[in-house]
Structure 1
Amino acid sequence: MFTLVLSIVTAQETIKLNNPSFEDTPRAGGLGFSIPIRGWHDCARAVYPDQSPPDIHPHPEAWMVSVDAQNGNTFLGMVVRDNESHEFISQALEVPLKGGQCYSFSIFLAQSETYMGVRNGSAAVTNAQAQALDTSVFSSPFMKPAVLRIWGGRSICSKGELLGVSAPVTNRDWKEYQFKFEPDSSLRYITLEAFYVTPVLSAYNGHILLDQASAIVQLACDEELPPVVVPPAEVVVVLVPPEKPKVDAPPPPPKPEQPVEEIAEDPKPVILTDLDREKIVAGQKIRVKSLYFRADSSRIRPESYPVLDEIQRFLIKNPDVIVEIGGHTSTGPSHAFCDALSEARAKAVTEYLLENGVEMAQLSYKGYGKRYPIVRDDQKDYKSARKKNQRVEIKVLSLDGD
């Protein structure tokens, strides 16, 4: 006689990050490079435009970092500075975190024995200056401890909910830091931020090294994370955001499982209705609505991120679609100014898409200046005409491998 025992197992949702081991060409942020690491958006560039971006190690000519990669060939270095600027990166999640659910996440962190940084405003440093540690561009070592703060948000670089904070990172060897995320709402983006050890009286120079981030895995909220196996003297303690005040009341009943449809549903309305796989054809041009730049600048304003993320998701989902990003200006300024501005804006959009995982083979960009206005700049309605002519368009170059 046999007894059949049925075991019901709830599938764990696993959310993989794009480029979790920070693999890219090694480069120091101050050595003439402005493109951030593949798959990640450099959030600090918009907040601190005069500062250098995060560094991709190991780099033989810069910063004197004494650590090898934990996984793969390269890893990331982020700093905090005594001028109150600091570095943070972000990316879109392939599946949003769900409010009321719990998740596990881990990442390897370390601190180098030495870490030289660039002085304020020295965003471009030559190789010769780096090799000689030229004191005119290099500041004192960035050797004070920093922490890693992990945020979730509804847009790129958003700090909507603090999901976890590490202990001050002082270990010279790589250690795996583990976190338990308990979001209150749906979060579509993750942000990794180097920050000061608090409380602090004044800003200082410090750094952390990051490598081999894990996938984000859903777990039962009453499940404890496994202990980190490290020598007793080097135990890594993970700090979590302050808990909400507890009241002496029985726990609420478990929330009913959300339908699968709600996970995939985008609560925001579609902005570019013409950007539809069933509608587009080669040669078609689609005006990018809800895209805004600073006046006479190629700096993208944060309220533009939703439409850019919509384009990013479409291109990642349709890798055979190849497009050109075209910039256009109003007809007022000179041709030289309009050509430069339109190209810079088209390039900025292209870089944003590349930074967020779109393949380079799918993208090209071009500035058309003021050569193709939609309407004439009529003096009676100049502002309206200027808004219509000043635009960015997506041109479908090919699809289905054509």
Structure 2
Amino acid sequence: MRSGLLFFSILALVFGAVRSSAQAQDNKIYLKNPSFEDVPRHSQTPKDWIDCGFELESEPDIQPNGEFGVTMPAQHGQTYLGLVVRDNETWERVSQKVSRPLEKGKCYEFSIHLARSPQYISQSRVKDTQANYITPAKLKIYGGFSPCDRQFLLAESNLIINYRWLEFNFKFEPIDNYTYITFEAFYKTPNLFPYNGNILLDNASALNPIPCKEQPEVVSTPTVKPPTQRIDTPKTNNGGRPTPGKTPPVNNPPVVAENNTTTKNPEKKPDTNSTPPKSIDNPDFSTLKKSDLTMGQTLRIPSITFAVNDTILSRASYPNLDKLLTFMNTNPAIVLEVGGHTNGLCADDYCNRLSLRRARAVVDYLVKKGVKPERFQVKGYGKTQPISTVKNDPKNQRVEIKILDL
């Protein structure tokens, strides 16, 4: 009798463990055909995946095919995916609907094996000759709400320089409940000229929920009380550093600036006792009047956009830039600061340089249309002035203009 009870107790524990394991697995988000298995062939997207490439360009390739000289064995299964970037400024990406939506505010870990083929021979549309697509490229991972929708950049790899399979691990926090995922090959950034390159993808994992690290409190401007009598130099006993208990001032990354302007009142300082002018979001320059503006006022223009990690203005930016051009021609005394801002995912130096170049691209567009360059000051704020506390929120990646002179 006791033996029977012991047997059923052990059996119950085993089934309980299996059920707990199954429940834990149910929290994962799965991909269909994560190893890109299919019949090897060029210009054909693997089953369960959707081609998101450019019109008139061929689809990605199921490798190893031999057609382009790609012979590396698969890391898992029999085949894998080959994506390329091209010298005519087109690149390849694939997409699919995930098994369940990613959840806003939750964090996930994900891994995939990546490599680069030492040979990937294909036609160059720019030079109209055969080229070896071997310049290193990177993988970008997007979340969205429909096939090929790149609503939000979840993660990106470093440049894929390895000629053998390596596992790449990513952690990310979506800002919405995305139902689709997109894998994209992209160029080294910043980069002024597109080139031919390849990345190979195999053995993608499920998206596994993980605990999010607690976000540090964001302080917009540190408050420092002025000394009542005198300032004492803090005593040091560890190589010149302040003793514990003394909080050193916060040093934000430097703002990169280019000063092209000769404003009428360069020494004028803002009145610190007055309330800062309210910023204007998405101004309509076709109806905006000079009398609507004040010195120091900021205008946020979300319609000025760029390709991810790029400095080339999107075509969608042109209509509003042309309205700004007309506004400046109508009001020749106005002097502007054009400021670029990035999200918080990049390194300080890279963010500063990228934001400066984007601001400069806006000014270059207007100057080429006839606006005098001395009417602009160009600044790259990098990630020092976020709108959202979520580092990779697209709202942080923007161009703003500030009224320096009327």
Q: Shorter-chain TM-score: what band?
A: 0.3 to 0.5
Between the two structures, name the one with larger relative contact order (CA 8 Å, sep ≥ 6).
Answer: 1
Structure 1 length-normalised TM? 0.47
TM-score, with normalisation over the residues of structure 2? 0.46
